[in-house]
Structure formats: C-alpha cells, structure tokens
Amino acid sequence: MNIREIENSIIEVLKTEFNELLVQGFPDKPSEFILLHPIAALLVHYQGGNYTMSKALGCIVQENSKEFSITVVTRNLRSNNGAYELIDKIKLLLTGYAPNECSKLYPIKDYFISENCGIWQYGIDFKLNTQNIQNY
C-alpha cells in the first residue's frame, strides 16, 4: 500500500467516527488554511519513514516504519469537541487500526502546535510498518 492509500484509509476511518467535523488531507498550502468549519477540522498527513537494513541475500527486503500525523484544529480547548477530547477520541479510534498490507497503527506522541485568536492546533502522531521489497 502506498503513502496516499494509507493516508486515504486513515481519513476514511476518521470520517466514519467524526462525520460532524471537516476531515481531509493536510492542505497543500497550510499557511492559507482557514478554519471555516463551525466546530473543528482533522487534517491528516504523512510525516516520513525509516527503513531497516535488508537481511536477505540476493534481493532487498526491508521493514518500513511510516509516521502519520493528525492535526486537530478547533475553536476550543476543553469543552465538548475541544482539542483535548478530540485527541483522546482519535487515539482510541486509530490505535490498533491496520490499513491493508500494514501493521496496526500505534500512537507515538501528541503535542501542542499553536493558538491564534482562539483557534487551537494540536497534533497526534501514529506509526505503522510496511515492507519494502525490491522490484524485479
């Protein structure tokens, strides 16, 4: 499964649980993103990956650890559908979810990003593993 397919799979799972929110891939121009949704937005993007050394002789076979981030953009911090509640719900929903041909997602960190005029941004990052196999 490629990066875009994994990202789209995560987006679809989030949409089923958070159908009252804006859920989409991270915008191509993040500096131009404005929260127009009345409650919140969940923005998903690929953070990067690491590869193990290949132990196979004759062909390359590696484990690839990929990291995906969900940015929570919301109008409040503690109330219903606030940043704290959304981070906890995302963690519960995605922990153990396995996109096709991937290991299960597991959380690795959540963190404050920014606050500007009452718009709060937090991130929660997850990892999963895939295989990278040499193409013959």
pLDDT tier for residue 128 given thresholds of 50, 70 and 90: very high
Which residues, at least 6 apart from 55, have a Cβ–Cβ distance to it below 8 Å? 61
Q: Average pLDDT in the 52-64 region? A: 84
pLDDT at position 116 is 93
State percent of the chain over pLDDT 70.
100
* DSSP type of residue 103: -
Check: CB of residue 74 under 8 Å from CB of residue 119: yes
pLDDT score of 55 = 77
Q: What is the CATH class of 3-133?
A: alpha beta
Q: What is the residue-averaged pLDDT of the chain?
A: 93
For residues 6-35, average pLDDT: 94
Predicted confidence (pLDDT) per residue in 74-103, tens digit: 999 988 889 999 999 999 999 999 999 999
What average pLDDT does range 39-64 have in this prediction?
Answer: 90
b (16+ CB within 10 A) / e for 15-51:
eeebeebbbeeeeeeeeeeebeeebbbbbbbbeebee
Q: What percent of the chain has pLDDT over 90?
A: 76
pLDDT above 80: residue 56: no
For the chain, the structural domain boundaries read 3-133
